[in-house]
Structure 1
Amino acid sequence: MGRIPVVDVSPVVDAGRWPAKAVVGEAVPIRATVFREGHDAVAATAVLVGPDGRDRARTRMVDIAPGLDRFEGRLVPDSLGLWGFRVEGWSDPYATWAHDATIKVEAGIDVELMLTEGALLLERAARRTGREKPPAEAAEVLLAAVTALRDTGRPPQARLAAALSDEVRAVLDEHPLRDLVTPSPVYPLQVDRELALAGAWYEMFPRSAGAVRDPDTGEWTSGTLRTAALELPRIAGLGFDIVYLTPVHPIGTTYRKGRNNSLTALPGDPGSPYAIGSPDGGHDAIDPALGTFEDFDAFVATARGLGLEVALDLALQASPDHPWVTEHPEWFTTRADGTIAYAENPPKKYQDIYPLNFDNDPEGIYQEIRRVLQVWIDHGVTAFRVDNPHTKPLTFWERLLADVRATHPEVIFLSEAFTKPAMMLNLARIGFHQSYTYFTWRNSKTELEEYLREVSGEQGSWMRPNFWPTTHDILPPYLQHGGIAGFAVRAVLAALGSPSWGVYSGYELVENVPRPGVEEQIDNEKYEYKPRDWALADDLGIALLIGRLNEIRRQHPALRQLRDLTVHPTSDDALLCFSRSLDAEDSPTGRPDTIIVVVNLDPFQAREGLVYLDLAALGLPRPGSAPTGLFVAHDVLSDETYAWGSTVYVRLDPAVRCAHVVQVDPA
C-alpha cells in the first residue's frame, strides 16, 4: 500500500498484465486515487518512463473530483516503443500549512508560531538539493517570502499574504515540496504511430476495378492490380489514409460459391477471395488473374506516391485446393467420416473454406503464418485487416502481434471480430491496434450516446474503435431503408465519432439493396465482379461529403483523438449532440481545438429542438471571450457562422443537411 496510498491507477489493463495504448504525441490522461490518514493535504505526480527505463517526463496531477481524492495528469510520449508510467503520491506540507495558517492567523490563534513554521517550511523548500532542487530564480522567490514572514515590523496578515502570493504558489506548483513520496508500480504503455489511432480506411476488391464483361458471351475479364491502381487517385482525392485490399491470393475451385453465395458456381464466376488457395499457390501468392508481385509492388508504389498506405486482408483459412491441405493435413480437423471439416456459422455453411485447427501443430502453423506475413511486409504492406480473429486462439495472436511489433513497429493490425464483448476486448488487450465495433448496429439516440461514451472512456485505453457504416458482408437495416440521407448520417457519425473509420467501396453510390432475409447486399461483391460508374457518385453527394469529412478530420486534431468526448443533452429524441475538445497544451498546434457535432438521426424528416451545451466541457469561456457565454460557432460543413451559447435551437432537414459540424471560436 505504501505510506501515502496510491490506488485505482489508470489506464491499466488487468493490473498491468498487458499495456495500455497510446500514440506518439498523444496526451495520455493518467489518473489515480491518492489519500492519507488525517487532514493533511496530499498531492500526486505522474511520471513517464521511457523504453530505456529512465524517467522522461513528470507532471503534477490535479484534483478532478474534490472530496473523492481523484487526481489526473497528462503525459505525452514522443517515440515508438514500450513505455511505462507511475504515480507518486505525497504529502503536501505547503498546502497543509497554507490551509491551517490562513484560518489561525485570521482568528488570531498561534499567529507567530504559524508564521515561523511557514518560514522554516519555505526555507527548506528553497534550499533543497538533488533532483528536486529548484532553479535559482525560484529559490529567490521562496526566500523573499521567508524574509517577509520573519519581518515582525509588518502586520501578520501582510506577512502571511507574502507567503501565499501567486508567485510563491506558482513556484511550488512547478517545484513542489514533497514529503513521504510513495510511488505506485510502473505500468506498461505501448506507444504506436498516429495511424494506429487515427486514420480513414477505404476497402476495395481489386478484381472489380477494371473488370470487363463481354456483351456477346457474358464472360468476364477480371480487373487487375494495374487497373485497380487507376482508382487510387480518386481514393486519395477523397482524403483516405489507407486503401485496404480484400485477399489477392489464388482462389480454389472445389465447392466454389456462385453469385449471392449460391452453392453452384456458373462458368466464369470468380468465387470468394476468402476461399484461399489453388494449384497456383496459397497465402504467399497472388491470383494470376490479378497479376504478379511486380504488379503488386507497382500498386504499393502508386499508393505511397499519393499519400496512401496499403492494407491487406489476412484470412487464416484455406480452400480445399490450398497447398496446405495436402502438405499439412494435420492443420485441419478431420471428421469421423474422414472428411475435412469446412467452416460453419449455423445456419450458414462455407463448404469452400476449411478453418485451421490450432491444436494439432500450433508451432508449425505459427511459423508458417509468420513467414506469410513477412512476405507481404517485405512488399510494402503496413496494415492488416484480420478476418475473424475471434476464431483463432488468443495465445496465437498474442505471440504473433508481439513478434511483428518487435521487428516492424510500423505495422498495424485491425481486428474484424463482430463477436461477444469478452473476446472483442481481449483481442484488443493482447495487442491488436484497432478493433471493429458494434457501431454498425447502434442507431437510436440513446444507443449512440451510450456507445460513444463507452468507446471513448476507459475502454479506449486498449480497444481503439474503428467505425464502419457497412462492410462487404454487412448492410444494416438503417441503411437498407434510409436512402441517401441515411448514408450521409452514418458517414458523419463514423467519421467524427471515432478517430478511425472506414467505408466499403460503393458507399459513395448508396448501394443499399439487400439480399432477401439477410443483412447484406444483393449481388454481393464477395462472389462476383462489380465494376462501378463513379461518375454517378457526383449526383448523390455522398462522395463530396466523405471528402469534406476527411478534410475536416485532418484540419482538427480534436477529431484525431479518442478521449475527451462529451455528449450534450438535446430536447428531441432524434437529435444527437457530442463534442471533442483539446486544450492548447495538449494540441499539436498549440491552440485549443473544439468541434461540436449535432446530427439528425431521422433520415426521413426534419427535426428541431434545443441543444444544451456544457460550456465547461467546451473549454468556455476562454481568455478574451465574451463574459455572456456566447461564442462564435462556425459550421465547417456549410461555411455558415452563428452566435451560440449554452442553449441552442437547431433545425436539421436531412433533404438539405443532416448535421452541424461546428468549430468553436471565442466571441
Structure 2
Amino acid sequence: MEGRARIAIEGVHPQIDCGRFAVQRVTGDEMAVQADIFSDGHEEVVAMLLYRRQGDEVWQETQMQRLENDRWQGSFKLGEPGFYEYSLLGWVDHFRTWQRDLQKRFEAGQDVSVDLKIGSSILSQAAKEAKEPDDAKLRQAVEALNQEPELEGAVALGLDSRLADLVSTCCARGLATRYHKDLVVRVDRKKALFSSWYELFPRSLGGAEGRHGTLKDCIAILPDIAELGFDVLYLPPIHPIGTSKRKGKANQVEAEPGDPGSPWAIGSPEGGHKSIHPELGTLEDFQALVLEADRHGIEIALDIAFQCSPDHPYLKEHPEWFLWRPDGTVQYAENPPKKYQDIVPFNFETPQWQELWEELKSIFFFWMDRGVRIFRVDNPHTKPFPMWEWIIAKAREKDPNVIFLAEAFTRQKIMYRLAKLGFSQSYSYFAWRNSKRELTEYLTELTRSDAKEFMRPNFWPNTPDILTEYLQYGGRAAFMIRVTLAATLSSNFGIYGPAFELCIPTAEAAGSEEYKDAEKYEIRPWDRKGPGNIRELISKLNRIRREYSALQETCNVQFLESDSDSVLFFVKTSGKPGASLLVAVNLDPFRVRSAKLRLPLGLLGVLSGQSYLLHDLLNGERSIWQGEWASVTLDPQLAPAGIFRLSTWLRKESDFDYYL
C-alpha cells in the first residue's frame, strides 16, 4: 500500500456478500452506486465511479456527487444482457483545494499573490503529466494566469471550474485510492423483471373424450393464452414417462392400465431428458410450437427436473450416477414419510460428478438449441449449489438472454443462495401470506432489504402441488383476491391455469394442499370457459400490467394507511407522469369491507386544496375527491379490489372564456 494515499473507501452499496456474488439488474436500468469516500484533513476529495462491460479493456468513468456525511453517489446506464464490472476511485484534489482556499482568502480581502503562484505551479506540473491535447490547454492556462495584469481577473481565471475538471480528468491521480475489489452486476433482459406465466399440462388438451393431448393441441390454444394476456407458457416435463413403479391416479402406488403417470418420472426406453413423450408429438412439433408461440408474443418455458424414472436410459448407461442399495435395487426419492417410488435421484457425490455435470448442462443446451430461453427448474435446492453456479454461467455464456426460475419452496437462506448463484427469478412464500401484516412484512423484506439486489420473486397463488387453505375455503372471491395481489404486488406472477381460471377449490383431503384428482397423475380435460371462471378479471389485470409501467417492477411498492385490517392499500410508483397506481384489496373473501384510505398526495403531485380524479381501472368508475382521505367499499363477490389511477388538472385564467 502506498503510504501517501490518504483516501478511505467504505460502505460500498450495492454489493452481495462482500462482492462474492453479482448484483441483479435488467437492460436499461440506471446502476446507482453509493460509498463513503473521505480523507484525513480538510482537503477537497474527488470520487469517480468506474465501469465497463466484462471483458472490455477500457474502463469508463463518471464523477460521483457528494450527498452528506462523506457519502457519495454515481450511476451508469446498463446496456445489453451480460456482466458488467464497477469499482471506485478517490483522491485528494489539491487543485480544487487550492481553488476553495483562494476564493475564501480573496473574499476576505487577503493578499493572494503568492496563492496565485502556487496555483500556477500546480497547473504547470499537471501540464507535464497530461497527454495531448490537454497538456496544451493547461500550458495556455498557466500562461494566461501568469500574464493577467489584474488581480481580480487572475483570481477569476484560477477559479474556473472547467480548469478543475481538466486537471482531474488528465492527471492529479498519482496517489489515488482504488477500491480493493471490482464488483459485478449481472444484466438480464427485461422479461426477467416483468413476465406473466401460465402453466398447463399439454396432455390434458385432447378434449372431453379424454384423448391424450399433443403439442399441436398446444399450438391451437395459443391465441387464447395471448388473449388472456400471458407472455410465458410454462409446460411441465414433456419427456417420455417411465412405466416401472408408475404412480396411479391420486398418487396411488399401483397404476391401473391406461394411467399416464407423473410427467416428473422422466425417462423410458423411448428416451430421456432430450426426448419428447411420443403421445405429445415430435421434436419438430415442439419447434413449431416455439415458433408459433413467438408469433403470439409468448415464450415457451420448459420444466427441467434433474431426476429419472427407473426406466431412464441413464440407469443402464451410467449406473455410477445413482445410489444402489445393498439388495441391488436403486435408491428412489424419499422425503420421509413420503415416498416417490417412481423417481430416482442422481447421486451428486459420485466420483464421476464432473461427467454428470457435463451431461446435465447439455440438457439445457439441447433445448436452447431448439429455441427455449426460459427454464423453470424443479427443486434446485436438492442439488449442489456449485453445480448451479457453473451451469447457469455456462448457459449465459451461450446466450445472455436465458432466464432461470427456481422452484424452491424451502428455507429462506437456501432460496436466497440460489438467487445469488444466478437464478433470474424465484418462487416465493406469497401463497401462504394472507393477512395484511403478513403481506406487508413479506413485501418489505423482499423490497427494502438487500434481498432486492439479488432475488426477483415470482408470485404464484397456486401450483399443481399447492392449493392453499385460503383458496380451498374462500370460494371464487378468494381466487379473485389472490390473483389481483399477485399481479399487482409482483412484476412477475403466474398461475396454474385451468384450475385457477375455474376457481377449483377441492383438496385431496382435509389438511392437504394437494388437488383432488390431481392433474399430475391423470389427464384432466378442462372446460376453461365454464361457469364461474374469472377469465375477464385475469385478462384485465394483464392488460393493466402491460399498459402501466408501475406494475412492471416490484421494489417500487409503498404500503399506505388504511383504517381496516382487512383492506390492504399500497401505491406502485412510476417515474412517468400519471403512471403511478394506487391499489386497494379486500383480503376478506367472505365479507364486504369498507375503509378510509390515506393518499400520499405529495408523492402523486397533488397540490394542497387541489381536487383530483380517481379512475378505477378494473371497473371503469370515476370519482372526484379532495383532501388526503378517500373511502372505498369492496365487495369480495363482485369487486374485491380497486386499481386507481389518480389525475389532476390545473386551470389558469387564460383557460376560461369570459362573456360580458
Q: TM-score range by the shorter chain?
A: 0.7 to 0.9
The equivalences for 1:511-550 within 5 A come to 511-516=504-509, 517-536=511-530, 539-540=532-533, 542-550=534-542
Q: Distance in 2 between matches of 1:101 and 1:576?
A: 58
> With structure 1 as the length reference, what TM-score do the two structures score?
0.83
Q: Distance in 1 between matches of 2:467 and 2:235?
A: 19
Residue 235 of structure 1: SS of its match in structure 2?
Answer: helix
Q: 1:9-38 CA deviation, whole Å, 9 max, x = no partner?
A: 222122222211111112233222333445
Q: Distance in 2 between matches of 1:275 and 1:379?
A: 23
Change (3 A) 1:320 1:44: same
Partner in structure 1 of residue 387 of structure 2: 396
Partners of 2:491 and 2:553 within 8 A in 1: yes
Partners of 2:6 and 2:92 within 8 A in 1: no
Partners of 2:446 and 2:452 within 8 A in 1: yes
Partners of 2:578 and 2:646 within 8 A in 1: no
Partner in structure 2 of residue 50 of structure 1: 53
Larger mean CA deviation between 556-565 and 243-252 belongs to 556-565
> With structure 2 as the length reference, what TM-score do the two structures score?
0.84
Structure with higher Rg: it is 2
Partners of 2:12 and 2:35 within 8 A in 1: yes
Partner in structure 2 of residue 639 of structure 1: 620
The equivalences for 1:304-323 within 5 A come to 304-323=294-313
Partners of 1:581 and 1:592 within 8 A in 2: no
Residue 368 of structure 1: SS of its match in structure 2?
Answer: helix
Residue 474 of structure 1: SS of its match in structure 2?
Answer: coil
The correspondence for 1:601, drawn from 584, 587, 590, is: 587
Partners of 1:402 and 1:431 within 8 A in 2: yes
Q: Distance in 2 between matches of 1:487 and 1:132?
A: 68
Letter in 1 for 2:504: E
Change (3 A) 1:133 1:345: farther
Q: Distance in 1 between matches of 2:598 and 2:112?
A: 52
Partner in structure 2 of residue 465 of structure 1: 457
Partners of 1:250 and 1:287 within 8 A in 2: yes
Change (3 A) 1:33 1:568: farther
Partner in structure 1 of residue 639 of structure 2: 657
| Stretches of structure 1 lacking an aligned partner (at least 5 in a row) | 153-158, 214-219, 585-590
Residue 534 of structure 1: SS of its match in structure 2?
Answer: coil
Change (3 A) 1:210 1:611: same
| 1:380 aligned onto 2:371 | yes
Q: 1:423-480 CA deviation, whole Å, 9 max, x = no partner?
A: 1111111111111111111112122112212222321221111111111100111111
Partners of 1:428 and 1:463 within 8 A in 2: yes
Q: Distance in 2 between matches of 1:173 and 1:439?
A: 53
The correspondence for 1:19, drawn from 3, 18, 22, is: 22
Q: Distance in 2 between matches of 1:344 and 1:613?
A: 51
Partners of 1:612 and 1:646 within 8 A in 2: no
Partner in structure 1 of residue 430 of structure 2: 439
Partner in structure 1 of residue 656 of structure 2: none
Letter in 2 for 1:499: S
Change (3 A) 1:288 1:508: same
Partner in structure 1 of residue 219 of structure 2: 229
Alpha carbon RMSD of aligned pairs, Å?
Answer: 3.8
Change (3 A) 1:14 1:657: same
Change (3 A) 1:61 1:477: farther
Partner in structure 1 of residue 547 of structure 2: 555
Partners of 2:193 and 2:491 within 8 A in 1: yes
Change (3 A) 1:57 1:569: farther
Partners of 1:60 and 1:173 within 8 A in 2: no
| 1:362 aligned onto 2:353 | yes
Partner in structure 1 of residue 654 of structure 2: none
Partner in structure 2 of residue 81 of structure 1: 82
Larger mean CA deviation between 256-265 and 304-313 belongs to 256-265
Partners of 2:48 and 2:64 within 8 A in 1: yes
Letter in 2 for 1:502: G
Shift of 1:525: 0.6
Larger mean CA deviation between 6-15 and 311-320 belongs to 6-15
Q: Distance in 1 between matches of 2:228 and 2:305?
A: 27
| Stretches of structure 2 lacking an aligned partner (at least 5 in a row) | 650-660
Change (3 A) 1:112 1:511: farther
The equivalences for 1:90-129 within 5 A come to none
Partners of 2:333 and 2:339 within 8 A in 1: yes
Residue 266 of structure 2: SS of its match in structure 1?
Answer: coil
Residue 28 of structure 1: SS of its match in structure 2?
Answer: strand
Q: 1:403-431 CA deviation, whole Å, 9 max, x = no partner?
A: 11101222211110111122111111111
Q: Distance in 1 between matches of 2:332 and 2:6?
A: 60
Residue 638 of structure 2: SS of its match in structure 1?
Answer: coil
Partner in structure 2 of residue 425 of structure 1: 416
